A and B are shown apart, each in its own frame.
Chain A
Amino acid sequence: MRLMRASEIIKRPVVTMRGDDIAQVKDIVYAAHGGAVGGFTLAGRGMFAGPMKLGLSWHAVVALGADAVMISDESALEATSVVFDAAVTGRGGGDVIGSQVLTDSGVDLGLVIDVIIAASETVGGQCDVVGYEIEASEALGTKGTKLLIPLPDTIAASAEHLMVPASARDFVSHDLAGFGAAVTAFRAQLDGAV
Chain B
Amino acid sequence: MQWWVWLVVALVVIAMLVVAVLAVQARRRRGGVLVDRSRRANRPTGGSA
Contacts and interface: CB of A to CB of B under 8 A. Distances in A.
Contacts of B49: 1, 3, 118, 128, 130, 150, 179-180, 183-184, 187
Contact of A183 (B28, B33, B35, B47): B47
B34 A94 contact: yes
A41 to B, nearest CB: 8
A126 B48 contact: yes
A128 B33 contact: no
Given A31-B40, A33-B40, A153 B47 contact: yes
A158 B35 contact: yes
B2 interface: no
B5 to A, nearest CB: 32
Contact of A38 (B31, B32, B39, B47): B39
B31 A27 contact: yes
B41 interface: yes
A183 B49 CA distance: 6
Contact of A85 (B25, B37, B47): B37
A36 B47 CA distance: 12
Contacts, number: 122
- Chain A: interface secondary structure? mixed
A136 interface: no
Given A32-B36, A32-B39, A85-B39, A10 B31 contact: yes
Contacts of B25: 47-48, 50
A29 B29 contact: no
Contacts of A50: 25, 28-29
Closest 9 CB pairs of A and B: A34-B41, A10-B31, A95-B32, A183-B49, A31-B39, A85-B38, A187-B47, A94-B34, A128-B48
Interface of A: 1, 3, 6, 10-11, 25-36, 38, 41, 43, 47-51, 84-85, 87-88, 94-97, 115, 118, 126, 128-130, 150, 153-154, 157-159, 179-180, 183-184, 187-188
Interface of B: 25, 28-29, 31-43, 45-49
Given A32-B36, A43-B29, A51-B29, 4 more contacts: A31-B42, A49-B29, A87-B38, A88-B36
